[in-house]
């Protein structure tokens, strides 16, 4: 691999981080060459159909960025790799609570550092592009700049286009007609007579054909639709057409393997350019940990499943892996005409590939599909298995089928590998307040107020524990995850959610069946519906298991992982955010509305009692190594500044 280092510049306006000093960022592009016949590359779909150079190798390129101490000898000798989300860097959002960083990938301003947590630990933070579907200026966060881009080749049949029936699902989220939508892949023949467009209000509804005079190809990469009367802004339009020019998207896994392998083990690239992490001519890192939230977390699960944690010399790429907010899903990545940005939910993208067996980390056989496998199977066989922390929000049980991580296709509990710990961030939604403030994809009319519970402090403590586990062999806190055996994992219709006025619970969940993907649209196979379970709740409606933050241990309301779309937006379908239903302030108010949950007045005699409840909760978590010292103080300070019972 060749490193094209484009610039080295000061990060965070020269801010210094204690003993580790100021940081700088090294920005560039990595150019790789891949042998399609090598056993470690054999599973990359269409790699054998990609253009080859004179040496029979397939070439690709990915953007990278390294944040490191200016004096590398002062680092903690650990890489923290963050897999970008649709081209956007998120580690400083999740771990440093950098709201500014979410709106910019530049990382040059002091505000981008957030609270400085990762830099105060001395990490070398590495980002690199892996998603070949990200286009310039089109990332995850609205108005974000400097998206990390990957350049992967297009597969052909000996130079002739590869053509396949593809499906494009579109939710316009508005009623302005006509409406346009880009296509993930070009139409081989942009002819309405050779394509079909349908519309349906909700995912399970019958598909209604859109008359041919109500839609058209604007080009081979875009369609225009005269929106159909009787369907609201959340309606699902589905185009099935003949697409061409599939991208060899699985090269994203190769790029991470080869770049991180170089940075960790090599003193120079293939052309002699020194490794930017060198100290005295040798790589100045001893360990490597990966972090991926949501889409990147699903990518890292695929990275493990296909065995890419083994580098080309048989060494482990990552010693520890933190994957969060993924549920049991994989990714529509290493497949023909893949679309890595899609992920199946109750309403959106429901039947796209990427959510089928294997679900769990342990190796097992699925009686529905007849397949055998596990996320860690290849890593264990090659002796390159990292320590894995799998961390889910509550939303993932409703939208991401998290129960399939710990149960089989009959709902029976399955054993977890010694290399894995599972944690639930109790009462949390898929997005914390930092994401909700900047990511409009989450916002739509909702039936309940949106859950903005902040779980960043819990993430910091888990990363500290993962580091100690992966580098020193210190056991992390035990798994905090619901299970069938202790009765904390139940069917949605047995949840027993309290009857809270104005907050109806329907039990809707993102169901899953084994599917036939040989036709478009894919179809569920009868009799192969996976049983899905959810975490039990107390009389307040808050979950009784998982890592219960001070917000749950000293609550001011009910925090759920589920919420429903509101009027004129596919009403009733599950959203990707949770609900927050506050407690009544007084006993009189509670009785007036018929709320069964005790009021704030009944829970906390005064403000001081509330602060003390938060302090005790934070100390308990600290004793369990689930909250670092500085965050105990932070929770108490927030409680003191609040107006609760003042």
User: What tens digit of pLDDT does each residue of 432-446 get?
Assistant: 776 666 555 555 789
For residue 428, give the nearest of 321, 323, 563 by alpha carbon: 563
Q: What is the pLDDT of residues 275-323, one digit of tens each?
A: 999 999 999 999 999 999 999 999 999 999 999 999 999 999 999 999 9
**What's the distance, CA 111 to chain centroid?**
24
Rounded distance between C-alpha atoms, residue 225 and residue 181, angstroms: 8
pLDDT at position 254 over 60: yes
The pLDDT of residue 105 is above 90: no
For β-strands 23-34 and 2-10, DSSP reports them as: antiparallel
pLDDT in tens, 369-424: 999 999 999 999 999 999 999 999 999 999 999 999 999 999 999 999 999 999 99
- Give the 3-state DSSP-derived string for 467-482, with helices as H, strands as E and coil as C: HHHHHHCCCCCCCECC
CA-to-CA distance for 35 and 53, rounded, in angstroms? 10
Residues shown for the chain: 646
Q: Quick count: other Cβ atoms within 10 Å of Cβ 514?
A: 20
Q: What is the mean pLDDT of residues 141-158?
A: 81
pLDDT given at position 100? 62
What pLDDT does residue 19 have? 97
**Separation between Cα atoms, residue 35 and residue 39, nearest integer Å:** 9
Does this model's pTM top 0.85? My answer is: yes
Neighbour count for residue 193 (Cβ, 10 Å): 7
Residue with tokens 């917000």: 551
Q: What is the average pLDDT value for the chain, to the nearest integer?
A: 95
Rounded to an integer, the average pLDDT of 317-340 is: 97
- Please determine, for residue 245, whether its predicted confidence score (pLDDT) is greater than 70: yes
Of the CA atoms within 13 Å of residue 431, those in its CB half-sphere come to 21
| Residue 102, pLDDT above cutoff 70 | no
Distance CA 5, CA 63 (A): 10
- Given a contact cutoff of 8 angstroms between Cβ atoms, the answer to whether 118 and 136 are in contact is no
Query: Cis peptide leading into 358, omega within 30 of 0?
Result: yes
What pLDDT sits at residue 435? 65
Burial of 522 (0-12, 13-18, 19+ CB in 10 A): middle
Structure-block tokens of residue 137: 């200026």
Q: Note the helical H segments in 243-381.
A: 251-265, 295-305, 377-381
DSSP letters, 222-273, are: EEEE-PPTT--TT-EEEEEEEEE--B-TTHHHHHHHHHHHHHHH-SB-TTSP
- Residue 433 is predicted with a pLDDT of 72
Retrieve residue 93's tokens. Answer: 């959002």
pLDDT in tens, 108-148: 889 999 999 999 999 999 999 999 999 875 544 444 457 89
pLDDT of 21 > 60? The answer is yes
Distance from C-alpha of 568 to C-alpha of 555, rounded to nearest angstrom = 32
pLDDT tens-digit profile of 588-629?
999 999 999 999 999 999 999 999 999 999 999 999 999 999
| CA-closest candidate to residue 102, choices 434, 324, 577, 341 | 434
């Amino acid at each position: 691999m060749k490193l094209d280092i484009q610039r080295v510049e000061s990060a965070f306006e020269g801010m210094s981080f204690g003993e580790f000093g100021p940081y700088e960022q090294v920005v560039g592009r990595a150019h790789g060459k891949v042998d399609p016949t090598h056993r470690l590359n054999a599973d990359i779909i269409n790699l054998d159909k990609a253009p080859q150079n004179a040496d029979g190798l397939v070439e690709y390129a990915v953007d990278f960025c390294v944040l490191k101490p200016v004096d590398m000898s002062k680092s903690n000798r650990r890489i923290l790799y963050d897999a970008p989300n649709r081209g956007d860097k998120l580690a400083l959002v999740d771990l440093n609570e950098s709201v500014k960083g979410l709106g910019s990938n530049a990382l040059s301003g002091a505000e981008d550092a957030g609270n400085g947590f990762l830099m105060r630990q001395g990490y070398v933070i590495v980002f690199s592009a892996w998603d070949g579907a990200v286009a310039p200026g089109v990332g995850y966060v609205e108005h974000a700049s400097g998206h990390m881009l990957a350049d992967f080749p297009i597969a052909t049949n000996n130079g002739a286009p590869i053509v396949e029936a593809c499906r494009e699902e579109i939710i316009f989220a508005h009623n302005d007609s006509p409406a346009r939508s880009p296509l993930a892949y070009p139409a081989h023949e942009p002819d309405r007579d050779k394509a079909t467009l349908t519309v349906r209000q909700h995912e399970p509804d019958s598909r209604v054909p859109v008359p041919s005079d109500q839609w058209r190809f604007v080009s081979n990469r875009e369609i225009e639709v005269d929106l159909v009367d009787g369907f609201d802004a959340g309606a699902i339009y589905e185009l099935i057409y003949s697409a061409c020019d599939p991208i060899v998207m699985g090269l994203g896994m190769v790029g991470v393997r080869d770049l991180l392998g170089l940075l960790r083990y090599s003193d120079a690239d293939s052309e002699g350019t020194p490794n930017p992490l060198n100290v005295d001519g040798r790589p100045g890192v001893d360990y490597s940990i990966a972090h991926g939230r949501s889409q990147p977390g699903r990518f890292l699960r695929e990275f493990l499943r296909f065995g890419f944690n083994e580098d080309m010399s048989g060494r482990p790429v990552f010693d520890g892996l933190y994957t969060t907010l993924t549920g049991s899903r994989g990714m529509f990545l290493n497949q023909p005409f893949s679309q890595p940005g899609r992920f199946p939910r109750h309403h959106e993208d429901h039947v796209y590939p990427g959510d089928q067996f294997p679900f769990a980390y342990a190796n097992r056989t699925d009686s529905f599909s007849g397949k055998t496998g596990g996320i860690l199977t290849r890593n264990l066989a090659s002796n390159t298995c990292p320590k894995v922390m799998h961390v889910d929000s509550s939303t993932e049980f409703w939208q991401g089928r998290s129960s399939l991580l710990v149960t089989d296709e009959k709902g029976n509990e399955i054993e977890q590998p010694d290399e894995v710990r599972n944690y639930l961030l109790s009462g949390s939604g898929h997005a914390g307040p930092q994401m909700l403030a900047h990511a409009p994809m989450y916002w739509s009319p909702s039936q309940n107020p949106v859950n903005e519970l902040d779980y960043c402090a819990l993430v910091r403590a888990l990363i500290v524990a993962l580091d100690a586990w992966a580098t020193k062999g210190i056991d992390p806190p035990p798994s905090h995850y619901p299970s069938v055996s202790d009765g904390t994992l139940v069917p949605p219709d047995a949840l027993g959610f309290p009857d809270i006025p104005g907050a109806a619970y329907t039990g809707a969940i993102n169901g899953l069946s084994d599917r036939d993907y040989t036709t478009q649209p894919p179809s569920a196979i009868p009799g192969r519906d996976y049983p899905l379970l959810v975490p039990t709740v107390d009389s307040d409606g808050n979950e009784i298991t998982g890592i219960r933050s001070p917000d749950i241990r000293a609550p001011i309301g009910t925090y759920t992982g589920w919420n429903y779309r509101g009027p004129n937006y596919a009403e009733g379908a599950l959203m990707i955010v949770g609900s927050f239903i506050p407690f009544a302030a007084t006993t009189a108010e509670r009785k007036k509305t018929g709320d069964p949950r005790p009021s704030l007045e009944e829970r906390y005699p005064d403000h001081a009692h509330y602060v003390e409840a938060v302090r005790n909760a934070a100390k308990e978590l600290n004793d369990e190594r689930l909250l670092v010292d500085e965050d105990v103080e932070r929770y108490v300070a927030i409680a003191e500044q609040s107006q609760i019972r003042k």
